[in-house]
Amino acid sequence: MASLLGRFCRKLVVPGSAHGSRMTSTTACGSETVKSLNLYSAINQALHIALETDPRSYVFGEDVGFGGVFRCTTGLAERFGKNRVFNTPLCEQGIVGFGIGLAAMGNRAVVEIQFADYIYPAFDQIVNEAAKFRYRSGNQFNCGGLTIRAPYGAVGHGGHYHSQSPEAFFCHVPGIKVVIPRSPREAKGLLLSSIRDPNPVVFFEPKWLYRQAVEEVPEHDYMIPLSQAEVIREGSDITLVGWGAQLTVMEQACLDAEKEGISCELIDLKTLLPWDKETVEASVKKTGRLLISHEAPITGGFGAEISATILERCFLKLEAPVSRVCGLDTPFPLVFEPFYMPTKNKASSSSSLSSPSKNTHFLIHGFSRLL
């Protein structure tokens, strides 16, 4: 699976489709060195570069000093000093509020929330303070230098409070940006963009991929533009949209569907807010079918927003209802995690359902999986 990620990332197809797909600029030039890194190392590198290039940037959070619980911040305190990389006490609301203040004075504050499940005490600060700062002060003040990083998502044994995906809550807040990388190379570029973006950004890192995902990551300073979705895999029968760790699951589903003759187009949204509607729209206009997949519970998840928008824009081109393969409407369970998760089987049987291609027996095949 790890190599798969590497494979499909390097398989970045040069823009060929007419919809002017925004391909990322992460091509490693021949002379640049790349190194095989996992996600936490890529993020670590990004943080090193960010702190190096801007002397007024700071990294803080719980336990970041020694490297953090996921080792994303190793070496930073030693290299940049305790004045720029420091631990905070256990108070998320305080940490984010502090970060907002720091950013309001023109600094870049890279705040770490230890697990996305713990971000809720800080929710008020993010929604009411960070998101609205520029707006309510008539552009006199802003906290654009704020970036909040949090590991999110299922990890196999996380249980209720170490596996949540709260991206939907933040996508409902105009004023902040929500960014989710899918792989080490993406993570480094997106994190650097997020830190340098003049708006507050909430950056969710799929914790499952911290060690699992290994990829060739360029060592130089590069940024991946925000609000640009990427077509990872071209296809013609159905469009699949996802983000973060879920893309690896969907990639597997795509491969399974290929065997049944269904050609899938896979899109990585990357930035959830503001999201790249044009790319998805163009893709759906081409294929006529859409399947969205995320780990968060289905009701009110971000898939609903995508579904509604695409319906509005591509209604006449849609050949089947928009399908969402997501987590169930329960608290994230402990032992029931395999039931809860939107696995590749759920995705592939859903895709064969909504895009029964030339052979009708797939329809029956798909239905039988319902029972």
Which residues make up the interface to other proteins (CB under 8 A)? 62-63, 66, 69, 87, 89-91, 93-94, 117-118, 120-121, 157-162, 291, 298, 323-326, 328-331, 333-336, 339-340, 345-347, 349-350, 353-354, 366, 369-370
| 339-351: b (≥16 Cβ within 10 Å) or e | ebbbebebbbbbb
Q: Which of 48, 62, 92, 230 is catalytic?
A: 92
CB of 352 to other proteins, least distance (A): 9
CB of 221 to other proteins, least distance (A): 31
Q: Which of 112, 162, 230, 281 is catalytic?
A: 162
Spatial distance between the Cα atoms of 152 and 253, rounded to a whole number of angstroms: 22
Nearer to other proteins, 114 or 194 (CB): 114
Backbone angles phi, psi at 10, to 5 degrees: -75, -15
Q: Name residues whose C-beta falls within 8 Å of residue 242's C-beta, 6 or more positions apart in sequence.
A: 249, 250, 266, 267, 268, 269, 292, 293, 294
CB of 328 to other proteins, least distance (A): 6
CB of 370 to other proteins, least distance (A): 4
| Dihedral sign, Cα of residue 40, residue 44, residue 150, residue 216 | negative
162 is catalytic: yes
CB of 161 to other proteins, least distance (A): 4
| Dihedral sign, Cα of residue 273, residue 6, residue 220, residue 148 | positive
**Separation in Å, CA 171 to CA 202, 278, 344:** 10, 18, 25
Tokens read off for 82: 């305790």
The catalytic site residues sit at 92, 162
